[in-house]
Structure 1
Amino acid sequence: MQQASQRIDKWLWYARVTKSRTLAQKLAMSGHVRLNKEKVTTAKQGIKLGDVLTIALPRRLLVYKVLDLGARRGPASEAQLLYEDLSPPPPPKDEGKPEQRDRGTGRPTKRDRRQLIRLKQDTPGDGF
């Protein structure tokens, strides 16, 4: 029989938001998780079906609607059945070419280094 509610740290771990349950506890207690727009301050906070979680990670924002409470940490395909992803799309990446440097500036290429070595070997020494 499925539980009526589940600890938020367990659910975050089951849904593969974090790599370990300890990290899920720290994430919940750090204030980076909101449950139905309310900041979560404890890892034992209970969640139930239909709740909306907003999770602020370092490089992205996740918005998940809880569809099911997990029973175990299974494969990613099983974890995706626990939530509906309502996250905003990531900002568009700059598709332009990488910035080109003028020839001869920056680090020498492997070819340049080989030419320098050859040049040093061909020049006469101090005359000894």
Structure 2
Amino acid sequence: MRLDKWLWAARFFKTRRLAVEAIEKNQVQVNGDRAKPARTIKIEDTLIIQKAGETFTVIVDDLSEIRGPAKVATLLYHETEESLAKRMEDREMKKLVHNPKPDKAPDKKDRQRLRELRKGYE
């Protein structure tokens, strides 16, 4: 089965064209090697997929020529434990770094300080 069709059927990409573009940008590897869209994959192949800043390491469990429901698509592969743990850890780090939550809302005094700081930068 073609790699681009499988990625589309497994719902890693919304269209086959997006799957082809990702493969051409070396964002998909098969068994550690660079892949082409027409590369034939088989059961037990290991795929490394980089998508939206995340890296998935999956093992092919089944092949499908058609794109079915999401529940059926998840039966086509299983993600390695290391990959899943790494992705969850990366997500938590991104949340902490990019969206630090304050302990409390600023009170009147804090708002006054913020206004004074902003005035200094204008």
SS of residue paired to 1:10? helix
Match of 1:16 in 2: 11
Match of 2:84 in 1: 88
Aligned equivalents of 2:100 and 2:15: distance in 1?
37
Match of 2:101 in 1: 97
| Root-mean-square deviation over aligned CA pairs | 2.0
Match of 1:62 in 2: 56
TM superposition score normalised by structure 1: 0.70
Identity %: 36
Deviation at 1:50, TM superposition (A): 0.3
Name the larger-Rg structure. Answer: 1
- Give ranges in structure 1 of 5+ residues lacking alignment: 1-5, 107-128
- Give ranges in structure 2 of 5+ residues lacking alignment: 116-122
TM superposition score normalised by structure 2: 0.73
State how many pairs are aligned: 100
Written as runs of structure 1 = structure 2, the 5 A alignment for 1:34-53 is: 34-40=29-35, 42-53=36-47
* Higher normalized helix content (fraction of residues): 2
* Runs of 4 or more consecutive aligned structure 1 residues displaced over 6 Å after TM superposition: none
Aligned equivalents of 2:102 and 2:14: distance in 1?
33
Aligned equivalents of 1:60 and 1:77: distance in 2?
21
